[in-house]
Amino acid sequence: MQFLGLALSLLLVTSILAAPPNDYALRIKETVSPPRGWAKHSIPPPDHNIALRIGLQRPNFPVLERHLYEVSSPDHERYGQHLSKEEVEALVAPHQESIDSVNEWLFSHGFKESDLVKSPAKDWVTVKVPVSLAEKILDATYYVWKHIESGDSLVRTTGYSLPSHLHHHVDVIQPTTLFGRFKKSTSTIIWSDKSSAVSDAANGDLAPIVDATSGVTVDASCNENITISCLQQIYNIVDFVPSARGNSIGITGYLNQSANVADLQQFFVEQRPDAVNSTFQFISVNGGQNDQTPANAGDEANLDTQYAFGLSYPISPTFYSTAGSPPFIPDSSPPENTNEPYTAWLDFVLSQADVPLAISTSYGDDEQTVPFSFAKRACEDFAQLGARGVSLMFSSGDKGVGDGDENPATQQCFTNDGRNKTEFIPAFPASCPYTTAVGGTYKFPEVAVPFSGGGFSNYFNRPRYQDAAVGKYLHALPKGLYNGLFNPNGRAFPDVAAQSYRFRIILKGRPALIGGTSASSPTFAGFVALLNDVRLKAGRPSLGFLNPFLYSTGLAGLNDITSGNNAGCGTPGFNSTVGWDPVTGLGTPNFGKLKEIVLRR
């Protein structure tokens, strides 16, 4: 009996030692409600491959953020002392314990070190897995989800789990709960074979328009169509020729949008003759294409490249094309499509030693369709670029404060958290505090364009650089107006604005008129590139992250827009007013003034 008791005791001890510790038990890491408009469609093939991206925690990010604000604030002694790629990577690197823990977890599921693709800072780990294995290691169930309105499809789950001990090592894993569609911000194309926008201005047939406030004079035709010449006149940039070495500007392209070189040349012949025979550097990311078949020219890509590169010529231009777009096609071979081109671009550009100094993106999504964990990580990636001296411009969106319904009176603005609460719908990445969000204006003298996206983030708190300007706006807002429809403590956007309506482009060999904040963002980026030229020529560093400058000394170089509103959700939306507002931000650029201001520090 004594021997049996000892044997039983040893067996119990052995069992306890063999059992996994409690912190290896799976615990839910993240769950989401499916966004409105998405429905379960089918079960994905078990061999559908997923590029599973694991974001390790960045314990020193607050230190990077402090550096970012110091080198970006004109009143700080470190202004302009941007960090190197290596310095930034050191500040976002995870603890070795996090790296080891994630490695051990992946190895326990049969992966080898050679299967793991790690970012230079080792803060991202990517592994390719069939969906059947992803479901096993994440205790998740994936489905093919279909967007009812567009027909786009994604392979996603509404929740996943991790071993308990990994929760404080891992920030996010995707593709899991991200249902964002990352749409272009372009309004309807109007075909226009008439050349009146150019000929009338050249012939002086119409009386010019004078802005009584600024004293700027502009060709009358600019109230019909916007051209390079119109933007130069409106924003006080006539006769400036950039010449500094080392300057650069970039445009990002997604969703199979191709920038057509023949169209660009025709555009240059019409609007920028000195740029004829020049072109851009094309960089393919993750297999992205730039199809030069005339029929496949992209409206968004043509608009972005023609105006950003036309305004900033001869500054060195780059067009990025990043592969990955809906729909998911389960019968394709191999059956693989993660539909996350945006993260692929960020991975790529952060790994590069040389990055364009001003970059514009005309794509975005509703903030609420992007899980906070993912939005936070992407926002931190933008901060890395800002700390390295890169200015990032994003369109503020083309739906006012609403959900994109073309008729503001019928828009339904509901939350995606299961409550179906009525709220204004902020946009992302415009809501990230480390980006410069660009809203829209039209006509001259300028007023806010009705579709200009703007509002307040539900994810990110208002940054300090906005406190004075936004606080003043909120104080003046009629008491009780839109109570409960927006977060008054959130990061406010847009920051600035520019023309965004009836831009004359060349598309598939024909003139066309196009608009959206997708026009205002590359326009503003073009002016930032010119301001960088002023600084570089004087031996100063690039402007980098713009917002602390714009909300302080740069404010004197902006045209305040005080008329217009951005209707949505069955409301008139917000009004433009004196000072900052959630329609046109701080205003539009006055290059003549800004070129003097940027040399003060």
CATH number at residue 526: 3.40.50.200
Residue 243 shares a structural domain with residue 347: yes
304 is catalytic: yes
Check residue 417 and give its pLDDT.
Answer: 73
Binding residues: 560-561, 579, 581
Check residue 443 and give its pLDDT.
Answer: 95
Check residue 175 and give its pLDDT.
Answer: 92
> Cis bond leading into 294, ω under 30°?
no
395 is catalytic: no
554 part of a folded domain: yes
Residue 229 shares a structural domain with residue 306: yes
Three-state secondary structure string covering 459-509: EEECCHHHHHHHHHHHHHCCCCCCCCCCCCCEEEECCEEEECCCEEEEECC
358 part of a folded domain: yes
Closest CA to 448 of 458, 457, 433, 438: 438
Alpha-carbon torsion, ordered 225, 229, 230, 235, to 10 deg: 150
- Beta strand pairing status for 248-253 and 316-322? parallel
CB 130 within 8 A of CB 87: no
Most distant CA pair in the chain: distance in Å? 114
Beta bridge partners of residue 250, listed in sequence order: 318, 359
Domains: count for the chain: 2
398 is catalytic: no
Last residue of a domain, one of 130, 146, 179: 179
> Cis bond leading into 94, ω under 30°?
no
Catalytic residue of the set 123, 300, 381, 533: 300
Q: Tell me how crowded residue 488 is: count the other CB atoms within 10 A of its CB.
A: 14
Please state, in angstroms and rounded to a whole number, the distance separating the CA atoms of residues 402 and 414. Answer: 10
Check residue 13 and give its pLDDT.
Answer: 40
Please state, in angstroms and rounded to a whole number, the distance separating the CA atoms of residues 86 and 272. Answer: 39
Tell me, what amino acid is at 402? G
Residue 111 shares a structural domain with residue 133: yes
Please state, in angstroms and rounded to a whole number, the distance separating the CA atoms of residues 543 and 536. Answer: 9
Residue 293 shares a structural domain with residue 152: no
Residue 25 shares a structural domain with residue 121: yes
247 part of a folded domain: yes
Last residue of a domain, one of 119, 152, 179: 179
Beta bridge partners of residue 252, listed in sequence order: 320
Please state, in angstroms and rounded to a whole number, the distance separating the CA atoms of residues 541 and 79. Answer: 9
CA 157 to chain centre: 24
Please state, in angstroms and rounded to a whole number, the distance separating the CA atoms of residues 359 and 454. Answer: 20
- Alpha-carbon separation of residue 86 from 89, 91, 193, 352, 544 (angstroms): 5, 9, 51, 11, 17
Catalytic residue of the set 119, 395, 518, 520: 518
306 part of a folded domain: yes
Residue 103 shares a structural domain with residue 140: yes
Residue 198 shares a structural domain with residue 173: no
Residues in the chain, pLDDT under 70 = 1-24, 186-190, 192-205, 325-341, 403-412
Please state, in angstroms and rounded to a whole number, the distance separating the CA atoms of residues 472 and 489. Answer: 13
Binding residues for Ca(2+): 560-561, 579, 581
Give the domain range for residue 152: 19-58+93-179
Rounded to the nearest 5 degrees, what angle is found at the Cα of 134, between the Cα atoms of 131 and 136?
A: 115
Please state, in angstroms and rounded to a whole number, the distance separating the CA atoms of residues 392 and 404. Answer: 24
Alpha-carbon torsion, ordered 575, 577, 583, 586, to 10 deg: -170
Residue 166 shares a structural domain with residue 260: no
Residue 568 shares a structural domain with residue 430: yes
Q: Which two tokens stand for residue 109?
A: 């599921």
Alpha-carbon torsion, ordered 93, 97, 98, 100, to 10 deg: 110
Residue 161 shares a structural domain with residue 216: no
Q: Which two tokens stand for residue 590?
A: 């006055």
**Helix 261-271 × helix 299-312 angle, to 10°:** 50
Check residue 33 and give its pLDDT.
Answer: 86
Please state, in angstroms and rounded to a whole number, the distance separating the CA atoms of residues 358 and 532. Answer: 8
Residue 116 shares a structural domain with residue 228: no
Residue 535, C-beta contacts closer than 8 angstroms, at least 6 positions apart: 541, 542, 543, 598, 599
Catalytic residue of the set 65, 200, 299, 304: 304
Closest CA to 325 of 363, 361, 281: 363
Check residue 194 and give its pLDDT.
Answer: 47
Check residue 189 and give its pLDDT.
Answer: 65
Q: Tell me how crowded residue 538 is: count the other CB atoms within 10 A of its CB.
A: 10
Residue 270 shares a structural domain with residue 244: yes
Closest CA to 175 of 82, 44, 294, 77: 44
| DSSP string computed for 76-110 | STTTT-PPPHHHHHHHHPPPHHHHHHHHHHHHTTT
Please state, in angstroms and rounded to a whole number, the distance separating the CA atoms of residues 43 and 131. Answer: 10
Please state, in angstroms and rounded to a whole number, the distance separating the CA atoms of residues 189 and 409. Answer: 23
